[in-house]
Amino acid sequence: MKNVFIWVAKLILAMLVIVVAVAMFVGAEYVVLFMIDNIGGYSYLDNYDTKKHIALWLLVFLVIQTVSKQMEDIKFSFKTKKSKLKNIKQYSNMNELEYLNNCKRTWNSGDANIEHCSYGLVTESAEIMDMLKKHKFYGRDFNMVNLKEEIGDLLYYVHILCDEIDYPIEQARKDNIIKLQKRYPEKFEDVIIRDVEKELSHI
């Protein structure tokens, strides 16, 4: 009920503003015409139709209000876009934890998170394949910007998936390199892999 009263009050206030504004316009016009008639000897006021002029100034007022509202919306939109760009710049030096926390802002937790992430990884990979198909078989330009966006989407799902199974992304990277070292030892002959935790355990 309180909201209804507020709405009615706002409506009455808006109507009063319109009435006052139109009255000011008509009054100002009447004064100008009166001065022209008296100074120049004209007779504009003799043919002055008050109702038509009220309708005219009401239309003018509504047009001004509409244009003003549109300008305010454009100004607000510009400020919002500018603010978003400013916020984007703040993410230029994120670490892994900050990136994960920002990803989780848009993630809806549920019972099928692992399944959801799996579908997401497949879908984003398929989008890359579709882009490559169009480039190779249909002669379309290779969209590097789109490729980078898809890579970012893949990283999003990878980080969320690791978080869901309590598997730190740092550990995932380490385990992957260890697996590659075991699979391709000849590629790591010049690399010394230290187990810092094991070394510290002997101190």
**pLDDT value of residue 144:** 93
- pLDDT mean over 51-63: 77
Q: Do residue 28 and residue 50 come from a single domain? A: yes
Q: Per-residue pLDDT tens for 101-126?
A: 989 988 887 767 899 999 999 999 99
Q: Do residue 74 and residue 134 come from a single domain? A: no
**pLDDT value of residue 195:** 62
Q: Do residue 110 and residue 78 come from a single domain? A: no
CATH assignment at residue 166: 1.10.287
Q: Do residue 118 and residue 139 come from a single domain? A: yes
**pLDDT value of residue 94:** 83
32, 67, 89: which is the final residue of a domain? 89
Least Cα distance to 100 among 163, 192, 164 occurs for 163
Q: Per-residue pLDDT tens for 72-105?
A: 777 766 666 656 655 565 666 788 888 899 899 8
Range of the domain at 63: 2-89
Q: Do residue 67 and residue 102 come from a single domain? A: no
Give 192's pLDDT tier (boundaries 50, 70, 90): low
Least Cα distance to 174 among 154, 190, 194, 146 occurs for 194
Question: Is residue 187 pLDDT above 80, yes or no?
Answer: yes
89, 123, 150: which is the final residue of a domain? 89
Domain count, the chain: 2
Question: Is residue 51 pLDDT above 90, yes or no?
Answer: no
57, 89, 121: which is the final residue of a domain? 89
Q: Do residue 19 and residue 110 come from a single domain? A: no
Least Cα distance to 21 among 50, 51, 48, 57 occurs for 57
* Lowest-pLDDT range of 62-71, 143-152, 188-197: 188-197
Question: Is residue 167 pLDDT above 90, yes or no?
Answer: yes
- Predicted TM-score of the model (pTM): 0.52
Other beta carbons within 10 angstroms of residue 186's beta carbon come to 5
Q: Do residue 73 and residue 42 come from a single domain? A: yes
Residue with tokens 């385990």: 175
Q: Do residue 47 and residue 115 come from a single domain? A: no
**pLDDT value of residue 174:** 93
Q: Per-residue pLDDT tens for 3-29?
A: 667 777 777 877 777 777 777 877 777
